[in-house]
Amino acid sequence: EKERAFIEWYPRGYGVGFKVTDRLFETQTKYQRLELYETEGFGKLLVLDGTVQLVEVGEESYHEPLVHPVMLAHPNPRRVLIIGGGDGGTLREVLRHETVEKATMVEIDEMVIEVSKIYMNVARGAFEDPRAEVMVGDGVRYLRETDERFDVIIVDSTDPVGPAKLLFSEEFYRDAYEKLNDKGLYITQAGSVYLFTNELLDAYKAMKNVFDRVYYFSFPVIGYASPWSFLVGVKGDLDFTKVDVERAKKLDLYYYDPERHETLFQMPKYVRDLL
Ligand code: AG3
């Protein structure tokens, strides 16, 4: 019998694939093509415009490094904004922090939220948490217009190419900087280190023009072309090289190791030389 696979093709013919046993759902939403598969060994696979968003088994290898380093570097993160993240994984990890009073999530595509709710349980109750405010809308516009201020802003978007491109623009970073409290942290996923090096560089330079300090780090993510990059923008007197390991103990993390926070900052030398 013929084996079926889903392969995400990156530039220059680099592929990341999973054996799949079933296609559970497929639709063209208002914004993108959405596919959901059952995989042989990694649970369900969510795909947007042909790019892997997550596999259920191992999604924490993305959500933990996206959320916890900034949350643990901030002394008291109470108000958090998430842009994107329709599957609810980022929201779930944010709400594990007891300091959080309110977590606002702005996802542009309602279908991503609905399909995630119906077919997966990545959110594990996060959408029903009284501290969560989930909105369907354009994150760029929301950030420009809101009167709210945040301690941490997390961008859990698709890649820095195509529809999410605006989320990697200097103008957007300026809005984010303005909407952070005097001490605040901004983090965005920034694509594959090897395959989107130029996009990573562009985003880094644009962030440098806006934030008081900018850090880059990488992490191996299950389902993406690893290593994956993340960019952190700092506003005010905060040190992203140090995290609160005491608070971290309660979180019982699986992938990101706060006691080895410094290991996040490893980058291939050619990339560090370019940054
Ligand atoms: N956010 C998507 C990260 C980008 C993946 N890119 C790719 N596979 N080319 C993921 C949503 C999970 N909350």
Which pLDDT belongs to residue 161?
Answer: 78
> Locate tokens 């093509």: which residue?
33
163 pLDDT above the threshold of 80: no
Which pLDDT belongs to residue 61?
Answer: 98
Which pLDDT belongs to residue 41?
Answer: 98
Which CATH architecture fits 60-274? 3-Layer(aba) Sandwich (3.40)
Specify the higher pLDDT residue, 161 or 57. Answer: 57
Centroid of ligand 1 to alpha carbon of 203 (angstroms): 16
Q: What is the largest CA-CA distance in the chain?
A: 60
The reply to whether ligand 1 has any atom less than 6 angstroms from the CB of 233 is: no
Which pLDDT belongs to residue 162?
Answer: 74
Q: Options 3.40.50.300, 3.40.50.10470, 2.30.140.10, 2.40.30.10; which CATH number does 5-55 get?
A: 2.30.140.10
Q: State percent of the chain over pLDDT 70.
A: 99
**Overall size of the chain counted in residues:** 275
The reply to whether ligand 1 has any atom less than 6 angstroms from the CB of 61 is: no
Rounded CA separation 72/156 (Å): 18
Please choose from 158, 168, 218 the residue to mutate so as to test ligand 1's pocket, defined by most ligand atoms within 8 A of CB.
158
Average pLDDT in the 32-58 region?
Answer: 98
Lowest-pLDDT range of 163-167, 191-195, 232-236 = 163-167
Task: Report the half-sphere exposure of 251 (CA within 13 A, side-chain side).
Answer: 28
Banded pLDDT at 1 (limits 50, 70, 90): low
Rounded CA separation 253/45 (Å): 22
Quick check: helix, strand or coil at residue 179? helix
Same fold, 5-55 and 60-274: no
Tens of pLDDT, residue by residue over 226-267, are: 999 999 999 999 999 999 999 999 999 999 999 999 999 999
Give the chain's mean pLDDT.
97
Domain residues of the chain, as ranges? 5-55, 60-274
Which pLDDT belongs to residue 2?
Answer: 67
Tens of pLDDT, residue by residue over 106-139, are: 999 999 999 999 999 999 999 999 999 999 999 9
CB atoms within 10 A of CB 12: 7
Centroid of ligand 1 to alpha carbon of 1 (angstroms): 31
Which pLDDT belongs to residue 160?
Answer: 82
Rounded CA separation 188/229 (Å): 9
- Closest among 157, 216, 211, 203 to 183, alpha carbons compared: 211
The reply to whether ligand 1 has any atom less than 6 angstroms from the CB of 188 is: no
Cβ-proximal residues to 202 (8 Å cutoff; 6+ apart), any chain: 160, 168
Which pLDDT belongs to residue 153?
Answer: 99
Pairing of strands 33-39, 14-28: antiparallel
